[in-house]
Amino acid sequence: MSGAICVVLLLIFLYCIGLFDGELKVKPAVFSGGALLVMLILLLNSLLSLRDKSAQIVLNESYFSGKTTPLAKAFGAGNWEDVTAINLQKVGGDTLVVVTLRNASNYKDRLPSMLWKMAYHAATQELNIMYSASVITIESDELYGLFMSYWKLSKKESGIH
């Protein structure tokens, strides 16, 4: 779909620079050229991400990490011992698994300022990291169950009940 949009934008750009009728249309050429550039960057980025064969979400007894949302990707790996809650939250057309973490100061240097403001809840001094099941081939309830089972497993491993 992105490729088709790029082709259409390229044709519009070529028309605006006068390739077909010899008449230069500056404003539409600038607009279509800018839109084409943005779409090409997005297309290349998505094509490069197809080559990434690593797991979208990693869960084990000691940590969890994921790349299903920009926030989760920037956050990296979190420790199960800092988890205080795991919930499902409906956001737009997607249901996200939200992992709430204490000791937010331990994770502050991982996130850019904008993402930190999205994740940090000042009243409770906790971080909310969101993971989406829509990127992988399971339902959000199943992903929630996996997060819960690994969290419970990590509590047993560390002796916390």
Confidence of residue 1 (pLDDT cuts 50, 70, 90): confident
With cut-offs at 50, 70 and 90, classify the pLDDT of residue 17: very high
Question: ∠ CA(75), CA(67), CA(116), 5° rounding?
Answer: 25
Please indicate whether residue 98 or residue 94 has the higher confidence score (pLDDT): 98
SS3 130: strand
Q: Per the structure block, which two tokens stand in for 65?
A: 């990490």
Token pair, residue 22, equals 């010899």
Q: How far apart are CA 129 and CA 134, in angstroms?
A: 16
Query: Which sequence spans correspond to the domains of the chain?
Result: 2-50, 57-158
The predicted-structure confidence for 20-66, as pLDDT tens digits, reads as follows 888 999 999 999 999 999 999 989 988 887 776 777 888 888 899 99
